[in-house]
Each structure stands twice: as C-alpha cells, then as structure tokens.
C-alpha cells in the first residue's frame, strides 16, 4: 500500500523545428519513451519523452521534441514493487492527456495546423515493460 502525498508536473524541454517540405499528406509517427526513477526518500518521477522526426523515408513538416516529467511524493510506502507499477502504469495514465494537450497547444501557438496525438489505451502503450514505443 502507498499513500500519494504530492504531485508536481514540469516540462523539461519543448522543441519545435519547421522543416521546408512542400505541402502534402503526411502521417504522424511519434515515438514515445518513458523513464522512471527515484529522486530521494519517498520521492519518485516518471518522464514521458515524445519525439517526432522527419526522415527521408517518412517526411513530416516539423521535428518535435517534448520532455514532460511528473514528480510523485509518497507519505507511506509498504512495497517498492507497487511504486514501480504506479510509476510505469498509473503515472502514464495521469500524464498522457497533459502530453496530448502540450503538443496540440505548442503546434497551434506556432500558427500551424495543430498536431493532435491519438487517444490510446495507455495501459497498452508500453507492453512487456518496454520503455519506448511508436504510437500508431
């Protein structure tokens, strides 16, 4: 059993670079990575890193990088395995809607058509405990 005491969110890095590509139909191929760890006694973090890069094989009008972190402070921890599960699953459930909003707001504020990440079943994002996936 654990008791969540406090949560804070921060955006560690936002990067948007326009590519000089002629208008056309493009397919978004975002890569999402997750990192978890311990900061201090009873304080842990989960980071979601979104990376969209234009390549020769898969051109896209922008390169986009967002590093979004949540810090969770617990008042009681009985089982470290429960905390690890929380950081890798429930924290992603909490964070993903915020990440979607950050990406949409960043691109629309840049006066370009907004990029809207798909709504996904977050519990199926990182199968087999992998920390990096492509969102389809």
C-alpha distances out from residue 97 to 47, 69, 90, 91, 128, Å:
14, 13, 12, 11, 22
Lowest-confidence segment of 68-72, 78-82, 119-123, 124-128 by average pLDDT: 124-128
Predicted pLDDT at 14: 96
Pick the closest to residue 91 from 1, 10, 7 (CA basis).
7
pLDDT (mean) for 68-97: 93
Model pLDDT, residue 48: 96
13, β-bridge pairs: 67
Identify the structural domains of the chain with CATH numbers, from first to last: 2-111 (3.10.420.10)
The answer to whether 32 touches 103, Cβ cutoff 8 Å, is no
Q: Are 103 and 66 a contacting pair, CB within 8 Å?
A: yes
Residue 92, pLDDT > 60, answer yes
Write down the pLDDT at residue 20: 86
């Amino acid at each position: 059993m654990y008791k969540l005491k406090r949560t804070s969110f921060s955006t560690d890095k936002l990067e948007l670079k326009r590519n000089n590509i002629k208008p056309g139909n493009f397919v978004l191929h975002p890569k999402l990575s997750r990192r978890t760890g311990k900061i201090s006694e009873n304080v842990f973090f989960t980071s979601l890193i979104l990376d969209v890069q234009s390549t020769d094989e898969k051109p896209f009008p922008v390169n986009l990088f967002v590093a979004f972190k949540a810090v969770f402070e617990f008042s009681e921890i009985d089982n470290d395995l429960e905390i690890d599960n929380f950081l890798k699953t429930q924290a992603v459930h909490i964070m993903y809607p915020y990440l979607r909003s950050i990406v949409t707001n960043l691109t629309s504020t840049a006066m370009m058509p907004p990029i809207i990440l798909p709504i996904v079943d977050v519990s199926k994002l990182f199968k087999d405990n992998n920390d990096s996936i492509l969102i389809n």
